[in-house]
Structure 1
Amino acid sequence: MSYLCPLCHAPLAPEGRSFVCPQGHQFDKAKEGYVNLLPVQHKRSKDPGDSTEMMQARRAFLDAGHYQPLRDAICQILEHAAPGEMLDIGCGEGYYTAGFAQIAEKQNGTTWGLDVAKVAIRYAAKRYPQVQFCVASSHRLPFADESLDAVVRIFAPCKAEELARVVKPGGIVITATPGPRHLMQLKGLIYESVMLHSTETESLPGFVAEQTEQIGWPMMLQGSEAAALLQMTPFAWRARPEVWQGLAAETAFHCETDFVVRVWRRDTLV
């Protein structure tokens, strides 16, 4: 299995340190080992996705093990699913992807990591060479029809029709989304009125909802860890300077997690 050309959608073949399609479109591997499959005309901004600061904060926070129960829960699902070809959409700096790769390797499969942020993929590819990483849009997945056994999507957007296109009949999609009380205490520092996350279940046409698991645990964070958590969230830009200062000075910031993990099975009647 390889990539599809993002320009003409023909299969890309590896040639040395490049990928080339029959039309002659060529995409070179970076020195870290990833390939950039995001043409400029598909970008919504000059540097889409998370910034370097967000990536560094996420790596520090995740390396400390604060979200390991989430990774373990998804790895357990993958163990039973026995994926061969697996994709992590919105993989960021690769913390989760590396865990998933250990599962796929047992089946002699390949793990692919995709993110729109070039800086994230550069971080990931440098640390985890056992994974095939690419910069690409989650709305235009550079993979052939019915080529993937499993797709994992943690807090990442993707068109349902794209998932239905690339997942094999009988394959699975695993989604992880915020539960109602996720990071309530952190949000309480920023918003006057804290709204619970929606409990509405998304629709994935072509898939059958097979399993739902809600997991959560309390965290006690040091100041730098609490600041890193805020930095990696989408509401960091709303935090006032005094919020950042207060978090940095914390010796024990208590915050709860709340995740909803769902397993979707691709309909075999396709």
Structure 2
Amino acid sequence: MSENISTALANDNSANACDKTLAQYRCPLCQQVLVLTNKTYRCDKNHSFDQAKQGYVNLLPVQFKHSKEPGDNKAMVQARRAFLDKGYYQPLVDSMLALHKKYSTKDATIFDAGCGEGFYTHQHKTEHNNVYGVDIAKETIKIAAKRYQDCFFSVATLSDLPFSDNQFAWLYSVYAPILETEFSRILADKGYLLTVTPADNHLFELKSLIYRQANKHDTTKSPIKQLTLVEEQRLNYVMDFTTSEDVLNLLAMTPFAFKASEELMAELNQLTTFSCQADFILRLYQK
């Protein structure tokens, strides 16, 4: 069955797929392997999921949703896309890719947990590998699949990922919930998990405009208990803004945007220059 799955996926999903490293999707209803035939994923129990015209597959059944449209709203998605496209977080991507080059192989199958509109996902794609992204927000997956057609995208929840066990050699999570048990399940033996979380001073200058007393991020706790920590890095740099639009987009993609007053929004809209720290912790674990 594995050979049939690989053939079907290679023919139907991506012309740039590498046949030997395709991951197996599994049914979210019965956990059986899904086979793609004529644009429909189907398991042995005849549960079926159609591939959308953009190329992604929705593997989040309606009965598993906790709201009508789970995940980030459209405004937040548009703001994040505009901000990331300006390259402010490119140093983070470069650090992530450097770790991958150092520890993994060029043909490793990669998974982006909470991929959003695919900013990090597509930058891990090469002619030698296959890269998968999952997000709970359908609209963001639509954007990702339409824009980055050489990657595999699906709508699903991170707490019940739509993949068979031991599928990925490299998995990363950027600001998404870190669920060690489920991530470990889909990681191959000796596979790596890279987590990116905020360090103490991340966006501190922006937070200081919103809160009377801005608190630094707590970096002492880690949700990873069983995997082995291989390397930890701190990445800190200053982002210099010359347009208010970029500052407002940064604010809109953060959780504390809801705390911003109308007066502050008007003030930010008049900014001509602003500087703010990007401060990340990268932790690499191995199964």
Pick the TM interval, shorter chain: over 0.9
Secondary structure at 1:49 match in 2:
coil
Report whether the alignment pairs 1:37 with 2:37. no
| Residue of structure 2 in register with 1:246 after alignment | 267
Asked if the contact 2:24/2:167 (under 8 Å) is kept, the reply is no
Q: 1:158 to 1:18 in 2, by over 3 A?
A: farther
Which amino acid in the other structure matches residue 51 of structure 1?
N
Provide the C-alpha distance between the structure 1 equivalents of 2:49 and 2:143, rounded to a whole number of angstroms.
19
Whether 1:224 and 2:248 are equivalent positions in the alignment is no
* Aligned 1:1-270 pairs, distance under 5 A: 1-80=23-102, 81-82=104-105, 84-102=108-126, 105=127, 108-221=128-241, 222-266=243-287
TM-score by length of 2: 0.89
State the Cα distance separating 1:146 from its structure 2 match. Answer: 0.9
- What secondary structure is seen at the aligned counterpart in 2 of 1:176? strand
Residue 235 (structure 1) shift:
1.2
Contact conserved, 1:164 with 1:205, CA < 8 A, in 2? Answer: no
Residue ranges of structure 2 left out of the alignment (5+ in a row): 1-22
**Unaligned stretches of 5+ in structure 1?**
none
Corresponding position of 2:19: none
Amino acid at match of 2:200: P
SS in 1 for 2:133: strand
Question: Percent of counterpart pairs with the same letter?
Answer: 39
Conservation of the 8 A alpha-carbon contact between 1:164 and 1:206: no
Helix, strand or coil for the counterpart of 2:234? Answer: strand
State the Cα RMSD in Å. Answer: 1.1
C-alpha distance in 1 between matches for 2:62 and 2:286: 34
User: Helix, strand or coil: the match of 1:77?
Assistant: helix
SS at match of 2:233: strand
* CA distance in 1: counterparts of 2:124 and 2:221, whole angstroms: 24
Structure 1 moving runs of 4+ over 3 Å: none
Q: Deviations for 1:147-200, whole angstroms, at most 9, x for unmatched residues? A: 110101000013211011111111100000000000001111111111110021
Are the counterparts in 2 of residues 116 and 137 from structure 1 also a CA contact under 8 Å?
yes
**Is the 1:58–1:228 contact (alpha carbons within 8 Å) kept by the matching residues of 2?**
yes
How far, CA to CA, are the matches of 1:22 and 1:257 in structure 2? 48
CA distance in 2, matches of 1:76, 1:64: 21
CA apart distance, 1:203: 3.7
Residue type of the alignment partner of 1:248? N
SS in 1 for 2:162: coil
Shift of the alpha carbon at 1:241?
1.1
- Structure 1 CA distance, aligned partners of 2:153 and 2:75? 20
Distance in 1, matches of 2:233 and 2:125, equals: 22
After superposing the two structures, state which structure 1 stretch, 169-178 or 193-202, moved more: 193-202
Name the CA distance, whole Å, in 2 between partners of 1:109 and 1:206.
Answer: 27
Distance between the aligned counterparts of 2:238 and 2:121, measured in 1?
A: 24
Question: In 1, distance between residues paired with 2:119 and 2:278?
Answer: 18
What's the TM-score, normalizing by structure 1?
Answer: 0.94
